[in-house]
Every structure is written in C-alpha cells, then in structure tokens.
Amino acid sequence: MSTESPPPLFERMLGMLEPAQLLAWAMSHYIRVCSEAVFQNGQLFAPITQTRRLRDEAFGRFWIEFTSPRQMSSDPTNTEIPEPVGSSALIPPLLRTATGTVLDIGPGTGTQMPLLTSPSITALYGAEPCISLHSTLRATAAAAGIASKYHILPSGVAASDLLPALRATNTGVVDQYDADPRAGIFDTILCVRVLCSVPEMERTVKELYGMLKPGGRLLVTEHVVNPWKRAKGSLLGRIVQGVYQVLGWSYFIGDCCLDRDTERVLRGVADVDGGWESVELESAFEWSAMPYISGTLVKKMV
C-alpha cells in the first residue's frame, strides 16, 4: 500500500518529464557510439549489422554515467556522495537487510556495493550480462573491501544462463541445489531496477523463486506500470508511460519496459507453494510515469 500524498500539480507535470531526460541522455550515447563506429573505426554498416553490440556499448556508457554518485555535481572537487533522493532513497534501508549467500541481479557499476559490506553477508554473486561494466564493477568491489567474496557472473538471470555461470565459479554454491532443487541456493536475492528489463520476466521470476532457500528473502525496488485504477494512481501517468515506450524507451535504455505489472508477477509466483510466508511491499510515486514498489517477500519454510 502507499502512504504517499501526491505533490502539487506543477511538480507532478515536471515528474512526467523525468523519463524524457533519461531517454534523451541514453539516445545521445547511442548516437555517439554509432558515429564512432562509422567515422572513427570505418565500420560503415555497423549501425545496421551490429545493432546489438552498439546498443549494449551505448547503454553501458549511459549507465556508468547515470549511476555515478557525483554525476549531477557541478564541482569536480566535491568528493562527498550526496544523500539519495527520490526513488534512490528506497534502496539503502532495504539492501542493508541482506544476509547469507546473496544474488545481486544486474549490479551494473556496483553503485549499491557500499550497502552490501555487512559481515552477515557470506558471499555475493553479481549477475551482470553487460561485459563492458565488469571492470568498473570489479574495481568497485575492491574499493568496498569485498572483492574476496564478490563473484561477477557474465550472465543474465535465466536459469539456463545463471546456473552454468554459478558452477563456473567453483565455489560449490550450487552443489546442494543440484542434489535437491528444493534446497535452493540463495538466502537473499536483490532485484533493484532490473526486472523491468529481463526477458520473459514471469518465467525468470519463477526460476529465481526456485533458487531461493526456504525462508529466503527477495528484496525488491522496481519501477512498475502505473496502477491508474487505484485511488492514488494516475491515468495520465499510464498514458505517458505508453508514449515513452513508443518513442524508443526500451530500445535505448537496455530493454527496460515502463509498463510491466511486476507486483502481480511477484505476488503470484509463490502460488505453487501456497503463497509467500510474508509480503511487505510499499508503493511510491503512483502519481508519476515511474511509480515504484519496494519491500521484502519471504519464502515459506518447507
């Protein structure tokens, strides 16, 4: 449920434009990458024949810039990391509760790494398919002092990709799961701004649920389709989401979808076991084009 009151009308209208700024930013990186391929590298047909590679490279550059804590600072000598605002403020209190063997889905550049240094975390596995982000992610883990227990997986989160990558770490993390899938693998799975872009989300979430240990927790902060039929939802916000999708949001921003009903999928995936042990999800920014859900879902014990 949401306890948030909508801001004044002018602020709501400005909020509808926030995705446009991100889209223009991502598009500028794509144009730059395509220009480099054609004019610097002489790959005249790369924008046609190597579209996937160029999109990945452009998104990687955009994401590194976007997730830099000081990317909005006009003072290059300012090394102080600003206090998170907006949707970013939902993340720290949630991630600080992570324990045990943790799967971090789509960690990007590792912006969240400082929140994952608790001694109660015994091992971290970061599934990041964008290879161009790995060097930054590796450096961030080292800077946070957790390089020894942080394992980068060059894979997506579909079981067909993730399980072989986990086995390749030679840490034995999947041994018990291979012997009995009901045992699960992870004590905590982190889903932060990532389920919007995974292919076949419903199947993927089901597979992730199967990898949770009994009693394990799924920690979620995700932007979702605007719940416009609810009292605090917005029909305008839902329409604006559709407009951005048509303008190429998914194409330029790493296959992200603004209109996924992620909450419905998350709640329903545990029906096979009679539901979750507990679900504590809060809604935020339901008036906007980027409403969020944030909270914890706990798997039932066997």
Ranges of each domain in the chain: 9-67, 86-224+260-298
Which 8-state DSSP code applies to residue 116?
S
Least confident of 75-79, 110-114, 155-159: 75-79
Cβ–Cβ < 8 Å for 262, 208: no
Residue 109's pLDDT is 85
Which 8-state DSSP code applies to residue 36?
I
Residue 83 pLDDT exceeds 70 = no
Residue 72's pLDDT is 39
Residue 250's pLDDT is 97
Residue 76's pLDDT is 34
Residue 202's pLDDT is 95
Type and span of the H or E element at 152? strand 150-153
Residue 116: pLDDT band (50, 70, 90) is: very high
Residue 256's pLDDT is 94
**Per-residue pLDDT tens over the stretch 245-287:** 999 999 999 999 999 999 999 999 999 999 999 999 999 999 9
Q: Copy the structure tokens of residue 47.
A: 């924008």
Residue 84's pLDDT is 60
Cβ–Cβ < 8 Å for 220, 189: no
Strand order in the sheet with 186-192: 150-153, 121-127, 100-105, 186-192, 212-223, 292-298, 278-284
**Per-residue pLDDT tens over the stretch 6-46:** 889 888 898 899 899 999 999 999 999 999 999 999 999 99
Residue 79 pLDDT exceeds 80 = no
Beta-sheet strands, E only, within 193-263: 212-223
Residue 213: pLDDT band (50, 70, 90) is: very high
Residue 85 pLDDT exceeds 70 = no
Least confident of 8-22, 65-79, 165-179: 65-79
Distances (CA, A) of 228 to 20, 85, 107, 131, 242: 20, 24, 30, 37, 13
Full-model pTM = 0.88
How many CB atoms are closer than 10 A to CB 273? 14
How big, in percent rounded to 5, are the helix, strand and coil portions of the chain? 45, 15, 35
Least confident of 20-24, 59-63, 154-158, 292-296: 59-63
**Residue 87 vs residue 302, higher pLDDT:** 87
Residue 2 pLDDT exceeds 50 = yes
What is the rounded average pLDDT for all residues in the chain?
90
Share of the chain above pLDDT 90, in %: 76
CATH 3.40.50.150 for domain 86-224+260-298, yes or no, is yes
Q: What is the mean pLDDT of residues 220-236?
A: 94
